[in-house]
Amino acid sequence: MTKLVNNKNPYSLTTLFFTEMWERFSYYGMRALLVLYLVNSLNYSDGDALHIYAIYTGLVYLTPIIGGYLADKYLGTQKTIFIGGITMMLGHFLMVFPDLLFLAMGLLIIGNGYFKPNISTLLGRLYKDNDVRRDSGFSIFYIGINLGAFLAPLIVGYVGETISWHYGFAIAGFGMLAGLIQFYLGQNKIIQEDVSKKTKRLNFNDWRSITFLSLINIPIILLIFEINSFINDYLYELLTFSFTLVIILLLKQKNKINFIKDDIKKVSYIGILSLFVIFFWVGFEQAGGSLTLYASNSVDRNLFGFIIPASFFQSINPLIIILLGPLIANFWLRIDNSDRKINTSQKMGIGLILLSAGFFLIMYVNNSSDSSISLWWLVGVYFLHTLGELCLSPIGLSMVTKVSPKKIASLMMGFWFLSAAIANYSAGKLPSILQTNNLDLFTFLTIMSLTAGIVLILIAPIMEKLVKK
């Protein structure tokens, strides 16, 4: 991997790779412990703990709108990343104190909003618009995300469950600190390789606006958690409001940056693909809910006399990405350098079809067996879903940085993550909705993702005309 980074991609990819790895280590470490901590240590009911978890994961993907806007208008990406990282580090350390739980989670949500859209945007700025290495670079970057996701449950989860919850949260905090140190040590090289060379000196009014927009989120988030049952019922309305906020911000920016016709086409292109991404993540995020329950209730988890915990199956996805990520990165690089190009819409359509194939596998096994199925069938499902993810998620991140109008690049990345917020919340609601209507979850997801994938491939020529130069 080192040869690939040094010879074929910007050197700063290494810095961003490990910065994101440590940030994801801290995020997934905390997430692995959260529900268990609420139930087993703070005596929350299962339902209340899951409500808090759902709200947390939804808001984590909502606040990047704010962080993206502040980066574009005031801070710039590097400063915003630093502020986000420090805020999240403090949030992780405050998780050690039970009485400060919601304050800590509020800091994590706000800090993620600063950090998440901007590190991806910064990676995109290491490449010129026509650089064929971009998709390959994002695929490598994606390995860093999943390396952190793979290690976190094994280390933070183990320490938290077997030694001390507080030690586990503290390790997550030190993980974020390691990411900040990595970013600090590599920032000069990043500045040298940043093709946009965007810098801005902030004045007093800028800092006042930043401080206000940041601090006002803390009481809002605390209120949301304190009345979590009520807000959980109206989270769709909150997400709709966020979409409206994005439109308002875009219209406000339009008058200042003189949007041209091509910019409007680019924003439309990202918006349409965001809708298809929702379909993908609604299915994919069943891994944390229905697929885990399926593993627990319907899968023979006996492997050479050892009963594999159902939660362990969630480690399959990041492990496959770590193993296959470099191969996929090289594959996209070869394809993009050849005459057999596959455009972004087609790649993402293939990802949706692979997701559908995974759910079809479960349908097939369920119809052919009345007893517990072999664990290898479920491994096959995760394998297909992971291949789909590698065709869609890193490609999508790459696309947003490439297509977005430069002056609102971070805001558009926040918009992209907002689709994940809607999908995460919908993924949790969908099983109960389908059960109420006597519909099979896996059949529905098979048809939904297959249809979305085929439609996206069919409209790919039209989609690509929107961004064709």
Per domain, the residue ranges of the chain are 10-465
Question: Do residues 345 and 456 touch, judged by C-beta distance below 8 A?
Answer: yes
Length of the chain, in residues: 469
pLDDT digits (tens, 9 = 90+) for 400-451: 878 887 777 777 777 787 788 778 777 767 777 787 888 888 899 999 999 9
Token code pair at residue 5: 């980074």
Question: Do residues 420 and 400 touch, judged by C-beta distance below 8 A?
Answer: no
**What is the C-alpha separation between 433 and 441, in angstroms, rounded?**
9
CA distances 251 to 256, 267, 303, 454, Å, are 9, 12, 57, 33
Radius of gyration of the chain (CA): 21
Tell me the whole-structure pTM to 2 decimals: 0.71
Q: Hey, what CATH topology would domain 10-465 get?
A: Growth Hormone; Chain: A; (1.20.1250)
In angstroms, the first-to-last Cα distance of the chain is 33
The confidence score (pLDDT) of residue 5 equals: 42
**What is the C-alpha separation between 106 and 273, in angstroms, rounded?**
30
Low-confidence ranges of the chain (pLDDT < 50): 1-7, 199, 230
The confidence score (pLDDT) of residue 318 equals: 86
**What is the C-alpha separation between 22 and 186, in angstroms, rounded?**
14
The β-bridge relationship of strands 302-303 and 373-374 is unpaired
CA distances 455 to 76, 305, 309, 389, Å, are 37, 46, 38, 18
Which SS3 state, helix, strand or coil, does residue 22 take? Answer: helix
Buried b (16+ CB within 10 A) or exposed e, 226-252: eebeebbeebeebbeebbeebeebbee
The confidence score (pLDDT) of residue 1 equals: 39
The confidence score (pLDDT) of residue 366 equals: 80
